[in-house]
Structure 1
């Protein structure tokens, strides 16, 4: 769990700095460790949307909603 949190923290910093490709790598690494976390799918979706990869982003948001249909952040 701690490893995932480190990856997400680094990814969020890179996302905020506009380093979307780098951020995506960290979120993808975190997802390799836990594919059942809707927040990870949201972060990946936000990053892909920032890169203009809208269909892939929508897939991520849909995966997040499938895991947790009550997740308002995915909509």
Structure 2
């Protein structure tokens, strides 16, 4: 679903699938979509392909840095 940012129907589909899976098994974490715009889910995946350990540490070493990294996307 590559058009989540522009398609309400696609966002509703992701949310519907999320809620269906939670209804079937509320004990398991569900990720609504991964790799682009976040719609719903219990997990948030971050795809960062940086190979520099100092850059990774800068982005993710504490909650404030993670928030800044996500906000500055």
TM category, shorter: 0.3 to 0.5
Q: TM-score, normalised by structure 1?
A: 0.33
Question: Which structure has the higher relative contact order (CA within 8 Å, separation 6+)?
Answer: 1
